[in-house]
């Protein structure tokens, strides 16, 4: 285990050091992970402090959390970076070990509340890159009036990290999706009226 215990106040001191960059760029703070909502109380405190200081906040999340927890922090989140891995519940269970029902329930609630949401899809060849899945994501976004989607091509960066930890990387044979596939998918999703970007 590497790290140290910190308070929300200590983290805010670090955040404040970059305020000039936020103001000049129009950016802010992104809470990522892992899953930031695994520490909802701490996250809520940080988001509240950012809101008090008028610092833009983004939350990168899988959405796999109770609506009660998500709704509590949502008022202080300016932008949700919301991951969707698979639309089929059975396949989602096989790939992640959990159902996607709560994830979609939360997404619909956030969209219904008018929150700004960017959908992010990790593109994993042979696992979730079939066109049926991609077009179902487009259908879902259309139904929820969401426009922005980021396709994140699988990369092999984690291979070396697992090796250093003495662990077996189960996706070592997975290849990065081809440029041809990525650009073809961008064209198909753009035809749905979506704003599609690769990476991000």
pLDDT, tens digit (0-9, with 9 covering 90-100), for 97-111: 999 999 999 999 999
When the candidates are 3.20.20.70, 3.30.1240.10, 1.10.10.10, 2.102.10.10, the CATH number that belongs to 84-95+112-200 is 3.20.20.70
What is the per-residue pLDDT for 120? 98
> Architecture of domain 1-81 in CATH?
Alpha-Beta Horseshoe (3.80)
Hey, do 1-81 and 84-95+112-200 end up sharing a CATH topology, with the first three levels equal?
no
Q: Model pTM greater than 0.75?
A: yes
Other residues' Cβ atoms within 10 Å of the Cβ of residue 181 = 16
What tokens were used for 157? Answer: 């960066």
Question: What residue ranges do the domains of the chain occupy?
Answer: 1-81, 84-95+112-200
Listed in sequence order, the DSSP H helices in the chain are 8-16, 19-25, 40-52, 67-74, 89-96, 101-112, 131-143, 158-164, 179-190
Residue numbers in the chain where pLDDT is lower than 70: 1, 158
Nearest one of 119, 123, 116, 141 to 192, comparing CA atoms: 141
What is the per-residue pLDDT for 24? 87
What is the per-residue pLDDT for 127? 93
3 state SS of 37 = helix
What is the per-residue pLDDT for 155? 80
What tokens were used for 188? Answer: 């198909």
What is the per-residue pLDDT for 1? 63
């Amino acid at each position: 285990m590497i790290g140290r215990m910190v308070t929300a106040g200590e983290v805010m001191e670090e955040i404040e050091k970059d305020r000039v960059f936020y103001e000049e760029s129009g950016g802010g703070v992104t809470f990522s992970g892992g899953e930031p909502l695994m520490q909802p109380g701490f996250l809520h405190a940080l988001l509240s402090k950012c809101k008090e200081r008028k610092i833009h906040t983004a939350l990168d999340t899988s959405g796999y959390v109770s609506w009660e927890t998500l709704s509590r922090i949502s008022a202080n989140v300016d932008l949700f970076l919301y991951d969707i891995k698979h639309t089929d519940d059975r396949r989602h269970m096989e790939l992640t070990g959990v159902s996607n029902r709560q994830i979609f329930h939360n997404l619909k609630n956030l969209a219904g509340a008018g929150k700004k949401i960017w959908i992010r899809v990790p593109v994993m060849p042979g696992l979730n890159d079939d066109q049926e899945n991609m077009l179902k994501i487009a259908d879902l976004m259309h139904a929820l009036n969401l426009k922005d989607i980021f396709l994140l091509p699988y990369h092999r960066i984690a291979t070396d990290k697992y090796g250093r930890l003495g662990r077996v990387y189960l996706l070592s044979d997975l290849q990065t999706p081809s440029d041809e596939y990525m650009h073809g998918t961008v064209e198909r999703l753009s035809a749905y009226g979506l704003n599609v970007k690769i990476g991000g």
